Amino acid sequence: MITENQPNPAGEILGVDIGGSGIKAAPVDIRNGTLKAEPRYIKITAETSPKEVKKHLEDIVQQFNQPKAIGVGYPGVVKNGTALSAANVSSGWLNLDIEKFLQPLTEGKLRVINDADAAGLAEMRFGSGRGHNRPDGGTVLLLTLGTGIGSAFFHQGRLFPNTEFGHVYLDNGLEGESFAAASVRVKQNLSWESWCERLNYYLKEMEKLTSPDLIIIGGGIIENFDKFKSRLKTVAPVKPAQLGNDAGIIGAALYASM
Ligand code: BGC
């Protein structure tokens, strides 16, 4: 079971966040959840193959001087290091044992976790979720709004992995992420107001299903949180991810330390 209270060995670990539109990576000080260097960003598309991603990662690892371990956030279901879904990335990832495939990048440990679960671990340990682990009020739902919608679900600090709430179907017959992801606002040229109406519709469904005590919003949308926060109509309080869009990198590195 993954918890956010594991012992925390010192040292530098490379955190990698593979997303639908780019790879971000930086060395992370997992003692305090800070980045030790500016993140590297490499654009990818849904067509970029796992081999090409590995090549990019080889370059990044070189640049960061052989990190002692690597944590990778992958945007799909991950079980025992293997990808069991590939919604917004190349189908080449499906059923790939990513840990085995990327292990040659380092002589140290290499671990792979769902990207939103990674962001959740980081926010619970270092960010907006800190202290939200009481028996009577410790249900936290983190949603990353980017190309898709990622979810991380915690109770009393324990992660329930691979929840995939972005794929919940709403009463209007649409999948949550194809209705309310941040990318949908851009693709469909929606105003903040009408996109936020969609987000409220999605959040209402999520609250019905999970009754969270706190909702944390993360992902690429977070730099625009001010543009929509006053329009949110949830029962639970909503906080922006305190670590911003770096939460995924930080959480992936943290996971590699567990
Ligand atoms: C995937 C999730 C992922 C989310 C954000 C969804 O399409 O199914 O696993 O966490 O996108 O990247």
76: CATH: 3.30.420.40
| pTM for this prediction | 0.95
- Residue whose Cα lies nearest atom 8 of ligand 1: it is 76
Q: What is the pLDDT of residue 2?
A: 52
Closest CA to 125 of 243, 244, 256, 1: 243
Do residue 91 and residue 140 come from a single domain? no
Burial class (CB in 10 A: 0-12, 13-18, 19+), 175: middle
Per-residue pLDDT of the chain (258 residues; tens, 9 = 90+): 455 544 334 458 999 999 989 999 999 999 999 999 999 999 999 999 999 999 999 999 999 888 999 999 999 999 999 999 999 999 999 999 999 999 999 999 999 999 999 999 999 999 999 999 877 779 999 999 999 999 999 999 999 999 999 999 999 999 999 999 999 999 999 999 999 999 999 999 999 999 999 999 999 999 999 999 999 999 999 999 999 999 999 999 999 999
Domain count, the chain: 2
Is 66 inside a domain boundary? yes
115 and 189, same domain (yes or no): no
Asked whether residue 126 is assigned to any structural domain, the reply reads no
Q: Are residues 113 and 162 in the same domain?
A: no
State the closest ligand 1 atom to the C-alpha of 148, by its place in the atom list counted from 1: 11
Is residue 97 included in any domain, yes or no?
A: yes
With contact defined as beta carbons under 8 Å apart, do 88 and 51 qualify? Answer: no
pLDDT at 8: 36
- Residue 96: the pLDDT is 98
| 198 in any annotated domain | yes
Q: Tell me if 117 CB under 6 Å of ligand 1.
A: no
Q: Is residue 28 part of a domain?
A: yes
Q: Answer yes or no: is 125 within a domain.
A: no
Kindly report the protein residue whose alpha carbon is nearest to atom 10 of ligand 1: 150
Same domain, 51 and 29: yes
Containing structural domain, residue 60: 13-119+247-257
Which residue among 18, 91, 141, 144 is best mutated to probe the pocket of ligand 1, counting the most ligand atoms within 8 A of its Cβ?
144
Say whether both 26 and 102 belong to one domain.
yes
Same domain, 252 and 202: no
Q: Residues 110, 32: one domain?
A: yes
CA end-to-end span of the chain, whole Å?
A: 11
Partners of 150 in the β-ladder = 144
167 and 115 part of one domain: no
Whether 75 maps to a domain, the answer reads yes
Query: Does one domain contain both 80 and 177?
Result: no
Q: Is 144 in the pocket of ligand 1 (CB under 6 A)?
A: yes
In a domain, 43, yes or no: yes
Whether residues 231 and 253 fall in one domain: no
